[in-house]
Amino acid sequence: MSRTARAVDVLVVGAGPAGLAAAAHLAAAGAGRVEVLEREQEPGGIPRHSHHQGFGPRHRPTTGPRYAGRLADAALAAGAALRTGVTATGWAGPRTLDVTGPHGLERLSASAVVLATGARERPRSARLVPGTRPAGVLTTGELQQAVHVHGQPVGSRAVVVFTAGADAVARAAVDTLRTAGAHVVALVTEGTRGPLRSPRHRFPLLTGSTVVELTGHGRLTGVRVRGDDGRCALLDCDTVVFTGDWMPEHELARRGGIALDPGTRGPAVDTAFRTAVPGVFAVGNLLHGVEPAVSAAAEGRGVTGPVLAHLAGTDPWPDGGAPLRVDPPLLWAAPNRVRPGGPPPLGERFVLRTAERLTAPVLVVHQDGRVLDRQRLPRTALPGRPVHLRARWTAEADPDGGPVHISVMSDSRRSGVGGPPILAV
């Protein structure tokens, strides 16, 4: 089994917003040969098939495909090599990847590897939605590609199921369905609220509702929904789109033995996007499921300095550091390894998610029973929306101590001095 072996300076895996931004800035900053591997035929990641407006900087919004195109052009213009239709299939060493493409098998070694493999929505099966297995059951990713990339029909009566906070994706799914000429029968969410309505976005909305069964042999015939009050209804439809519920595409990371964070399920990284494996960085939605494309791109840009420092050899790969853990109802925090003296995280803040609505929450950062910081959030924290924790406390953490915990207090007056401040919400 012959593989051609080759070495580059930086290997970026994934040509979505994060990977392309990383490649562009690294190549421009003189990182040497920067090569981006993309398994799809076209670069751009998820924006490639997100035809709605709202990508890119706020002052210059554009569509997903245009935004993706700009990022790819910038990477090429900066001198990065962009290879599409090639897949990193596994590791042959700590910074060596096995690659398959139409040209054959390769073994690529690099001084630094930047993983930017993105995220995907959990399909119906992973959500354990019972019922038969008919055709017509999609995720937003599949829906958008079918309609915008392949021009395929998607059925005539559709239900969109979305997780709390996935309003924007649900709205994009509705737009795509309407573009394809499908009637949107209903939006269904377990949450308490739906996407903001506008005259253009009128649709029956079922909140507090769970999909309990899919029916139909061959083609979907209906979605059975149960409401908070226990009542069931069968929605007559031939298409259902499961949207939101993002999952990092972490296969390559896991196969490389890279430790994951139990909350995000993406690689555990420190504030310089360093994984536990020397020379391997991770950026973008691989770290935490879906954030807007501009955020992913900002993380890609943010990895430039740390990668350059690693290439220069001036910055030995630090080991240890304390893991950052969240307590319920918080779901995850990213980045999630802290080291006093390390650089501040991007934007000098950690990004968190909560499973429940938190009114006037106070976040308490503590380690081994010692409170490092207490921050009152400026607004109500909602499921599915970013919650930000300022990073001013990281110097206080003990690198050799236990995990740093982030807990929630609903009221700062009940501070629980001395004891672990884990309070019910």
Partner 1 sequence: MTVTTSGELPELLHDVIVVGAGVVGTAIARELARHRLRIALVDAGDDVGNGTSKANTAILHTGFDAVPGTLESRLVREGRRRLAAYAEQSGIPLEPVGALLVAWDPEQLATLPALAAKAVRNGYHATRLLDAAELARREPHLGPGALGALEVPDEWIICPWTTTLAYATQAVRAGVDLHLNCRVQSVTGGRHHELATSRGLLRTRYLVNAAGLHADELDRLLGRQDFTVTPRRGQLIVYDKLARPLVGHILLPVPTALGKGVLVAPTVYGNVILGPTAEDLDDKRATGSSAEGLETLRAMGARILPALIDEEVTAVYAGLRAATGQDDYRIRAHPRLRYVTVGGIRSTGLTASMAIAGYVTGLLGDAGLHLGPARDLEPVHMPNIGEARPRPYQRADLIAADPAYGSIVCHCERVTHGEIRDALTSTVPPGSLDGLRRRTRARGGRCQGFYCGPSVRALFEDGRR
Binding range to partner 1, per CB under 8 A, among 133-141, 348-356, 371-379, 403-411: 133-141
- Contact region for partner 1 (CB under 8 A) — 122-130, 179-187, 370-378, 395-403? 122-130
Nearer Cβ to partner 1 (40/398): 40
Antiparallel, parallel or unpaired: β 337-338 and 362-367: unpaired
Q: Which stretch binds partner 1 (CB under 8 A): 121-129, 306-314, 375-383, 387-395?
A: 121-129
Assigned token pair, 8: 């580059």
Does residue 126 bind partner 1 (CB under 8 A)?
A: yes
Considering only residues 163 to 202 of the shown chain, the ones binding partner 1 according to CB under 8 A are: none
**Cβ neighbours of residue 309 closer than 8 Å, sequence gap 6 or more:** 272, 315
Tell whether residue 325 is a contact of partner 1 (CB under 8 A): no
Position among 19, 56, 141, 194 found at the interface with partner 1 (CB under 8 A):
141
Tell me if 117 sits within 8 A of 101, measured CB to CB. no
Which of the residues 249 through 308 are near partner 1 (CB under 8 A)? 251, 254-255
For residue 371, give both structure tokens: 């409170």
Cα–Cα distance, 14 to 248 (Å, whole number)? 13
Site membership for partner 1, residue 314 (CB under 8 A): no
Q: Which of 122, 90, 149, 334 is nearest to 249 (CA)?
A: 122
Q: Does 39 engage in binding with partner 1 (CB under 8 A)?
A: yes
Is the CB of residue 249 less than 8 Å from the CB of residue 286?
yes
**Would you count residue 92 as binding partner 1 (CB under 8 A)?**
no
The torsion defined by the Cα of 160, 128, 335 and 49, in degrees rounded to 10, comes to: -40
- 368 part of the interface to partner 1, by CB under 8 A: no
Distance of alpha carbon 65 from alpha carbon 76, whole angstroms = 16
Shortest Å, Cβ 398 to partner 1: 29
Measured CA to CA in angstroms, residue 145 lies from 46, 148, 161, 180, 340 at distances of: 9, 5, 18, 12, 44
- In the complex, the smallest distance separating the C-beta of residue 252 from partner 1, rounded to whole angstroms, is 10
Contact between 142 and partner 1 by CB under 8 A: the answer reads yes
Which parts of this chain interact with partner 1 (CB under 8 A)?
1-3, 39-40, 85, 87, 89, 100-105, 120-126, 128, 130-133, 135, 138-139, 141-142, 145-146, 149-150, 152, 212-215, 217, 247, 251, 254-255
